[in-house]
Amino acid sequence: KLKLSPKEIKIFKIELSNGQIARTISEETGTKVLTIQSMHNVSAEDFNNGETYVSIMRKNVKAVKEALQ
């Protein structure tokens, strides 16, 4: 049976969610919450700051890489 420590387990939430479920799980288990961008919306501020599909996907890759380390 595989056993992982809470520091080895990551929980993902979608950027537009309020994160309450992920936060509750995190608080109860000591795990970390990471955000995944769903690409449903890009704020005007992000757009004006040069966010693109590729830059947002790079953030997702960074989050997944962190979760797998």
pLDDT tens-digit series, residues 8-63 = 899 999 988 899 999 999 999 999 999 998 877 788 888 899 988 899 999 999 99
Instruction: List the one residue out of 51, 50, 48 whose CA is nearest residue 59.
Output: 51
- What's the whole-model pTM score? 0.77
- For residue 13, list its beta bridge partners: 35
- Cα gap 36→57, rounded to integer Å: 9
Alpha carbons 34 and 3: distance in angstroms, whole number: 21
Q: How far is CA 67 from CA 6, 32, 57, in A?
A: 12, 9, 15
Radius of gyration of the chain measured on its C-alpha atoms: 14
